[in-house]
Structure 1
Amino acid sequence: MIRFRGLVMVGFVGLLLCDSLSSVVAADSVMLEFSGQTMATTYSVKVFGPAESVDVDDLRIDIDGVLRNVNDQMSTYLKSSEISRFNASDSTDWFPISPEFADVVDAALSIAVKTNGAFDITVAPLVNAWNFGPSPRTGKAPSDETIQQLLATIGYQKLTVRMDPPSLKKSIPSLMVDLSAIAKGHAVDRVVEFLNSKGMKDVFVEIGGEVRTSGSKAGQWWKVGIQMPDAATDQWTVAHALSTSDSDRAMATSGDYRNFFESDGKRYSHTIDPRTGRPIDHALASVSVVTASCVDADAWATAINVLGPDDGLAIATKEGLDTLLISRAGDEFLRIGTGTLSQYSTASPVGAVQASPVKAVDSAGSPWVVMAITTIAFATILMAMAVGVIFGRKAISGSCGGIANKTNDDGSVSCGLCSNPADACKELRDRMQTTHSQETNA
């Protein structure tokens, strides 16, 4: 099973079981799967459809092009990106940006208003000060004086967006934007919409734990697992069915247990409360949100995580969101859900090992049938891998080691922003430029 490392880990236990069953239901269909790196994390794409010829290399390059474009617009780690250039500018005039960038900022400001600033993309200076941004890390907490000074430089009310022409405007020269709490969800949406535009309607896309599905697998539901918020275990607490062919659904999870640092014996979460200027410090360990678009799910998960267990539950109920809030209760966890995720609520705390049984791990049969099919599937995969290693004399390389430091057979190295070798970035850029020119001349 692939493990994706990021702010939160989302597992595909249910998805894997359904894939095994769908291969029996639809023998004339195939599951095309590949993964790579983007946005300082990993991505995974699954396309289910007729067993017809698909150029995987071309599709991978096209998807990397979509993701590279998102990075060029919204990555604070690229000095040449739109967001970095906006942050570096001290002008308070309208700053031209791409339509996609404007859409994301518009969505972010909408949620900022609804949460009274609990979600605020102008929090960038504080993110940097707390060692979670692109600035050099000190490993120490900022002083109270520094926090107060930085609080005066943030505030979503100081940022304005317009859609025509797409532009941003800051009311103070020092204002900066950080889209790390919403950009991955947007990227997931972009990849799904790209695949749909190419006639691929039954797809599963994941980036750093944020997921969106489209269509189904021969009428069966895509499923994702939500992990217990315990860094010491990889125990899945629920396996939720996301969608069938009638609608797209997306899931995003925000937690405080994967990305943090410790200073002077205190643990600091990466999630900063824009209202206080400090990392969150409450019992809520993780929040999962299901919506139609991943950009909304991503933003709402962070917003509710900032608000905490009580206020977070209140706004989730008010907004009619499908959410699962997992809070610490001593050494155990308490699950409270709203909407379609309310079925996973627990009346009393549960431990990571003693988690209550998941309902309907797979709708196609009993747990024993699922277990048997899964065992056979894993055995087949392991046998195939063993044969390949023995006769091909190749070392097994996978997601555990990643590809960031991998040297390819031809001597090239892998690129940190896309899944292709760095030497292929020129080809990717050329293809993107050709596509852009064709669209411009059309």
Structure 2
Amino acid sequence: MPLVESLPVRADTAQWSVWGTVARIVVTDPARLAEATDLVKAELAAVDRACSRFRPDSELSRAGGRPVRISPVLRDLMAAALRAAEETGGAVDPTVGGALCGLGYDRDFASLTGRTAPPSVRIFPSPDWRSVRLDEDGLELTVPDGVLLDLGATAKAVTADRAAARVAASLDVGVLVALGGDIATAGPAPDGGWQVLVRDRPGDPSCTVRLPAGAALATSSTAGRVWGRTGELLHHIVDPRTGRPAERVWRTVSVAAFTCLRANTLSTAAIVAGRRAPELLRDVPSRLVGRDLDVRRLGGWPS
């Protein structure tokens, strides 16, 4: 899915700007589009209240230093983030919020456009997802003092999964929900499957794939969310080992799976893995675009 949206908007389609990207939904019954849009927007609003690090009134912003009771929404988001961290050996780590702030990503991404962040002199704890505690019931969250959480690597994918499932269950339709590069589907697919254009920026290599009902696709990019800091250009995928943006071995990594969370976990981990990404994804349907725009397909990704 292009991160710069250029696809047609038909009677079965709605799209709007959110979280510094584009939300897009497609339904198999155009008569249910307005209802589906309302359901997706409600899901987006609930997630924003739960885990935005740019809202002082979000649940996530209030967590720190002592156990706090959390909502079922934040419980699901935190559980997903910690599971992704464990499955990737810490490559996808929700405790990189401090590192991102230190790099200048300390406000909503739309506010970074055209801004050059000054060098940071603030000191943040090294990322370590194991320092965060979610109790057995998932109702109490403990974040150590000084640790800033950022769920950006997983929350958008979980939201796509949640929103698609909610629309399909509530309206009995097939639906595709795309939040930037995170795409989830639920319910019956159109004849021939969901057609998805895979491309990051205009002029990049592109291809169209067909997703079966219930499939998901995620694309992680080192070119999509970038901003300037004195003397350098930065991107938003942090390598927890260094607290710096991951080396730009890959321009984009796209992964297909049966949840968007799983697809995004692997695509983000592959960006962090750099040259080791093909080993990580060797059995996974995936498409890697290098810095020089060469394309590598793995795991049965169609040619």
TM-score of the pair, normalised by structure 2: 0.87
**Separation of aligned partners in 1, 2:78 and 2:137:** 14
| Alignment pair present for 1:134 and 2:107 | yes
1:192-234 Cα distance to aligned partner (Å, 9 max, x none) = 11111123332111112211123221x221111221x5x5x34
Secondary structure of residue in 2 paired with 1:290: strand
**Separation of aligned partners in 2, 1:296 and 1:9:** 23
One-letter amino acid of the structure 2 residue matched with residue 240 of structure 1: V
- Corresponding residue for residue 123 of structure 1: 96
- Corresponding residue for residue 303 of structure 1: 269
Determine if contact 1:102/1:162 at 8 Å carries over to the other structure. no
Determine if contact 2:39/2:163 at 8 Å carries over to the other structure. no
**Separation of aligned partners in 2, 1:254 and 1:269:** 11
**Separation of aligned partners in 2, 1:101 and 1:264:** 35
**Separation of aligned partners in 2, 1:62 and 1:295:** 20
| Alignment pair present for 1:212 and 2:181 | no
- Corresponding residue for residue 233 of structure 2: 267
- Corresponding residue for residue 42 of structure 1: 22
- Corresponding residue for residue 277 of structure 2: 312
1:48 Cα offset (Å)? 0.9
> CA 1:257–1:118 in structure 2 vs 1: closer, same or farther (change >3 Å)?
same
- Corresponding residue for residue 238 of structure 1: 207
**Separation of aligned partners in 2, 1:297 and 1:268:** 24
Secondary structure of residue in 2 paired with 1:36: strand
- Corresponding residue for residue 148 of structure 2: 176
> CA 1:297–1:79 in structure 2 vs 1: closer, same or farther (change >3 Å)?
same
- Corresponding residue for residue 107 of structure 1: 80
1:163 Cα offset (Å)? 4.7
- Corresponding residue for residue 321 of structure 1: 284
One-letter amino acid of the structure 2 residue matched with residue 65 of structure 1: A
Secondary structure of residue in 1 paired with 2:277: helix
**Separation of aligned partners in 2, 1:293 and 1:112:** 16
1:242 Cα offset (Å)? 1.1
1:285-334 Cα distance to aligned partner (Å, 9 max, x none) = 111111111122223222211111x32221223xx432211112xxx322
**C-alpha RMSD of the superposition:** 2.7
- Residue 293 of structure 2: which of 333, 351, 356 is its match? 333
**Separation of aligned partners in 1, 2:146 and 2:230:** 31
Secondary structure of residue in 1 paired with 2:248: coil
One-letter amino acid of the structure 2 residue matched with residue 325 of structure 1: L
**Separation of aligned partners in 1, 2:253 and 2:69:** 34
Determine if contact 2:47/2:159 at 8 Å carries over to the other structure. yes
- Residue 90 of structure 1: which of 65, 85, 104 is its match? 65
- Corresponding residue for residue 286 of structure 1: 252
- Corresponding residue for residue 33 of structure 1: 13
One-letter amino acid of the structure 1 residue matched with residue 167 of structure 2: L
1:248 Cα offset (Å)? 0.6
> CA 1:202–1:311 in structure 2 vs 1: closer, same or farther (change >3 Å)?
same
One-letter amino acid of the structure 1 residue matched with residue 210 of structure 2: A
Quote the sequence identity (%).
Answer: 22
- Residue 50 of structure 2: which of 66, 69, 73 is its match? 73
Determine if contact 1:99/1:163 at 8 Å carries over to the other structure. no
Determine if contact 1:10/1:225 at 8 Å carries over to the other structure. no
One-letter amino acid of the structure 1 residue matched with residue 295 of structure 2: R
Give the paired residue count. Answer: 297
Secondary structure of residue in 1 paired with 2:206: strand
- Residue 221 of structure 1: which of 193, 196, 212 is its match? 193
* Structure whose alpha-carbon radius of gyration is higher: 1
- Residue 249 of structure 1: which of 215, 232, 240 is its match? 215
One-letter amino acid of the structure 2 residue matched with residue 314 of structure 1: E
Secondary structure of residue in 2 paired with 1:198: helix
> CA 1:65–1:133 in structure 2 vs 1: closer, same or farther (change >3 Å)?
same
Determine if contact 1:184/1:298 at 8 Å carries over to the other structure. no
Determine if contact 2:253/2:288 at 8 Å carries over to the other structure. yes
1:344-371 Cα distance to aligned partner (Å, 9 max, x none) = 3xxxxxxxxxxxxxxxxxxxxxxxxxxx
> CA 1:204–1:72 in structure 2 vs 1: closer, same or farther (change >3 Å)?
same
Secondary structure of residue in 2 paired with 1:34: strand
- Corresponding residue for residue 158 of structure 1: 131
**Separation of aligned partners in 1, 2:161 and 2:193:** 19
**Separation of aligned partners in 1, 2:35 and 2:209:** 32
One-letter amino acid of the structure 2 residue matched with residue 71 of structure 1: D
One-letter amino acid of the structure 2 residue matched with residue 90 of structure 1: G
**Separation of aligned partners in 1, 2:195 and 2:249:** 27
- Is there any run of 5+ residues in structure 2 with no aligned partner, and where? none
1:231-283 Cα distance to aligned partner (Å, 9 max, x none) = 5x34452111111xxx4111111111122233444322222111101112232
- Corresponding residue for residue 406 of structure 1: none
**Separation of aligned partners in 2, 1:226 and 1:258:** 14
- Corresponding residue for residue 140 of structure 2: 167
